[in-house]
């Protein structure tokens, strides 16, 4: 046997390094930035003179482990999930609908005025159904102008939807203070829908059944975008508009449809918030849920099930963070700081992952 043959028989073959599966790798690129963001946010807390372990412990205790806190976190999820569902449709179709806050608030104001007026006439359940439909319709109508400008003239929807949000928030305040104001109160607000006439609670808890509406919406949108021909058309438009036109798709009609669906879900979120939690709308009330949900949808990479997880995490941080802020003197908006750090780290992780994939080719 020659020396070369001996080396071939005795030397171990060169095996490629084991690689993580695609799903495990994707999980690692999400979990890693989350943990790093918590660490960096903890360093910020240390710089503020706050014990990060005490802060995170309070957040978990008040937002997750406490029965009342967990129920509040689940209830907070309802409007966030509906807005997230609308954003998934828009973003997967390549459309930036940033007008969700105006659509949400107008839907909420109209429903807050309509609910007390209808409940004594047609009953509770017909009123709830009618209000949900009206809230979605109001949101969709408020998106007509940006949709037509985008579909017909190619006007940038980021500008038009942000302008419509400003107008929508201002118009909602005018309605609360003038047309829909409850004359029996000194503080400008709409009439209050009685607790007995609102969406029912789940399983003898304080969790609004709006949570089920939000879960159904997100899962339905996920299946729509991944399992139907209509969803495939929207994804083709989002990936390459020229290819969509070449394939014979009516891009203007699909654009208007995307705006209508996305805005209707935002308006429905406003209706669910009023019918399930608030019962009325006060002057200058604007929780600004839409812009808060945008990074969560990006963190989930437009996946419906991952969106549910991130919305739950944010709800726990939000509810628990409110208690931690009162106890430890941390600003109420610190939860948004954590989300911002997380978004930056996720973008950095995505960039490094792309560099790694290009280097491996």
Angle, to 10 degrees, between the axis of helix 210-227 and the axis of helix 67-92?
A: 30
* Digit-coded pLDDT (tens) for 95-153: 999 999 999 999 999 999 999 999 999 999 999 999 999 999 999 999 999 999 999 99
Name residues whose C-beta falls within 8 Å of residue 238's C-beta, 6 or more positions apart in sequence.
91, 92, 93, 94, 95
87 closest CA partner among 74, 76, 101, 77: 101
Residue 12 predicted with pLDDT over 70: no
Domain assignment present for 38: no
Cβ-Cβ contacts under 8 Å for 268 (sequence gap 6 or more): 82, 107, 132, 135, 136, 139, 213, 217
3-state secondary structure of 273: helix
Q: Is the pTM of this model over 0.75?
A: yes
Query: Do the domain assignments include residue 46?
Result: no
- What is the number of domains present in the chain? 1
What whole-number distance in Å separates Cα of residue 131 and Cα of residue 17? 58
Within a domain: residue 13?
A: no
CB 192 within 8 A of CB 181: no
In a domain, 52, yes or no: no
Confidence of residue 335 (pLDDT cuts 50, 70, 90): confident
Question: What pLDDT sits at residue 9?
Answer: 47
**Residue 175 located in a structural domain:** yes
Which range marks the domain in which residue 100 is found?
A: 73-288
pLDDT band, residue 348 (cuts 50/70/90): confident
Distance CA(333)–CA(307), nearest Å, equals 21
The contacts of residue 191 (CB under 8 Å, 6+ apart) are 112, 113, 116, 117, 180, 182, 280
- Residue pair 343/299 in contact by the 8 Å Cβ criterion: yes
Residue 353 has what pLDDT? Answer: 77
Residue 224 lies in a domain: yes
Place 66 in a pLDDT band, splitting at 50, 70 and 90: very high
For the segment 73-88, the average pLDDT, to the nearest whole number, is: 97
pLDDT at 6 over 50: no
Q: Of 300, 292, 297, whose CA–CA distance to 317 is shortest?
A: 292
* Residue at 327 is within a domain: no
Q: Does residue 222 register a pLDDT over 80?
A: yes
Q: How many alpha carbons fall within 13 Å on the CB side of residue 112?
A: 31
Contact between residue 59 and residue 321 where contact means Cβ atoms under 8 Å apart: yes
Write down the mean pLDDT value for the chain.
Answer: 90
Measured CA to CA in angstroms, residue 336 lies from 101, 192, 216 at distances of 17, 30, 26
252 pLDDT higher than 50: yes
32 within some domain = no
DSSP per position, 21-70: -HHHHHHHHHHHHHHHHHHHHHHHHHHTT--HHHHHHHHHIIIIISHHHH
pLDDT-derived band at 31 (thresholds 50, 70, 90) equals confident
- Among 56-65, 232-241, 270-279, 290-299, the range scoring the smallest mean pLDDT is 290-299
Contacts of 118 by beta carbon, 8 Å cutoff, 6+ apart: 126, 127, 130, 131
């Amino acid at each position: 046997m020659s020396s070369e043959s001996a080396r071939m028989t005795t030397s171990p073959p060169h095996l490629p390094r084991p690689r993580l599966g695609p799903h495990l790798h994707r999980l690692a690129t999400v979990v890693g930035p989350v943990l790093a963001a918590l660490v960096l946010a903890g360093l910020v807390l240390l710089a503020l003179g706050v014990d990060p372990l005490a802060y995170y412990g309070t957040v978990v205790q008040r937002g997750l482990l406490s029965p009342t806190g967990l129920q509040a976190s689940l209830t907070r999820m309802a409007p966030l999930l509906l807005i997230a569902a609308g954003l998934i449709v828009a973003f997967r179709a390549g459309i930036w609908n940033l007008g969700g806050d105006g659509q949400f608030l107008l839907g909420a104001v109209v429903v807050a005025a309509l609910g007390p007026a209808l409940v004594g006439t047609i009953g509770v359940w017909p009123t709830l159904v009618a209000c949900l439909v009206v809230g979605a319709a109001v949101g969709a109508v408020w998106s007509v102008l940006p949709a037509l400008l985008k579909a017909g003239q190619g006007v940038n929807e980021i500008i038009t939807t942000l302008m419509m949000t400003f107008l929508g928030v201002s118009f909602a305040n005018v309605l609360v203070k003038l047309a829909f104001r409850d004359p029996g109160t000194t503080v400008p607000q709409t009439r209050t829908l009685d607790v007995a006439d609102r969406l029912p609670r789940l399983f003898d808890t304080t969790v609004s059944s709006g949570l089920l509406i939000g879960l159904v919406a997100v899962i339905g949108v996920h299946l729509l975008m991944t399992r139907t021909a209509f969803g495939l058309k929207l994804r083709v438009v989002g990936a390459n508009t020229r290819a969509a036109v070449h394939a014979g798709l009516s891009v203007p009609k699909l654009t208007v449809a995307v705006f209508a669906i996305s805005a209707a879900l935002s308006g429905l979120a406003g209706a669910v918030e009023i019918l399930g939690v608030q019962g009325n709308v006060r002057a200058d009330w604007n929780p600004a849920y839409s812009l808060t949900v945008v990074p969560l949808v990006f963190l989930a990479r437009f996946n419906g099930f991952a969106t549910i997880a991130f919305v739950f995490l944010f709800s726990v941080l939000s509810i628990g963070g409110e208690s931690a802020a009162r106890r430890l003197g941390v600003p109420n908006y610190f939860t948004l700081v954590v989300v911002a750090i997380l978004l930056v780290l996720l973008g950095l992780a995505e960039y490094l992952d792309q560099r790694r994939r290009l280097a491996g080719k």
